[in-house]
């Protein structure tokens, strides 16, 4: 059975690219707004959530807190995905599974996700 990856980012082009590059290896669902994210996550039941640090007017701080309070998503690994030079500090502060910098190569994104699933990150 394919692992499920949910991606929350407000950049539609990036969501389309991520969907295309990850779909051969994973079942992917993408979302561009926080408003519908939790209901979509609860329905999709992902094995990993990739989260842009800034989604509209919201930051990952708010979203991660909401995920941790959720019965269905509290133990799902979250990976921050951002162009911020502070991404490593933000990921550490939030206690998430890891981070990916924007931009990253397709091979790096695929390998990183695989490593998170294998517990190598």
Residue-by-residue pLDDT tens, the chain, 121 positions: 899 999 999 999 999 999 999 999 999 999 999 889 999 999 999 999 999 999 988 899 999 999 998 887 889 999 999 999 999 999 999 999 999 999 999 999 999 999 999 987 7
pLDDT of residue 1: 87
Write the CATH number of the domain with boundaries 4-117.
3.40.50.2300
CB 64 within 8 A of CB 78: yes
Write down the domain spans for the chain. 4-117
pLDDT of residue 94: 95
**For every residue of the chain, which 3-state class applies, written as one string?**
CCCEEEEECCCHHHHHHHHHHHCCCCEEEEECCHHHHHHHHHHHCCCEEEEECEECCEEHHHHHHHHHCCCCCCCCCEEEEECCCCHHHHHHHHCCCEEEECCCCHHHHHHHHHHHHCCCC
Query: Pairing state of beta strands 78-82 and 58-59?
Result: unpaired
Half-sphere exposure of residue 97: CA atoms within 13 angstroms, side-chain side: 23
């Amino acid at each position: 059975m394919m692992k499920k990856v949910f991606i929350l980012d407000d950049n539609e082009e990036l969501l389309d690219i991520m969907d295309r590059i990850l779909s051969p290896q994973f079942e992917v669902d993408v979302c561009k707004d926080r408003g519908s994210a939790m209901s979509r996550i609860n329905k999709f039941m992902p094995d990993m959530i990739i989260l842009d640090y800034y989604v509209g007017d919201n930051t990952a701080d708010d979203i991660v807190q909401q995920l941790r309070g959720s019965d269905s998503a509290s133990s799902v690994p979250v990976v921050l995905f951002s162009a911020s030079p502070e991404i490593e500090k933000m990921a550490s502060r939030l206690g998430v599974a890891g981070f990916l910098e924007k931009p990253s190569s397709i091979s790096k994104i695929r390998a990183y996700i695989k490593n998170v699933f294998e517990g190598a990150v």
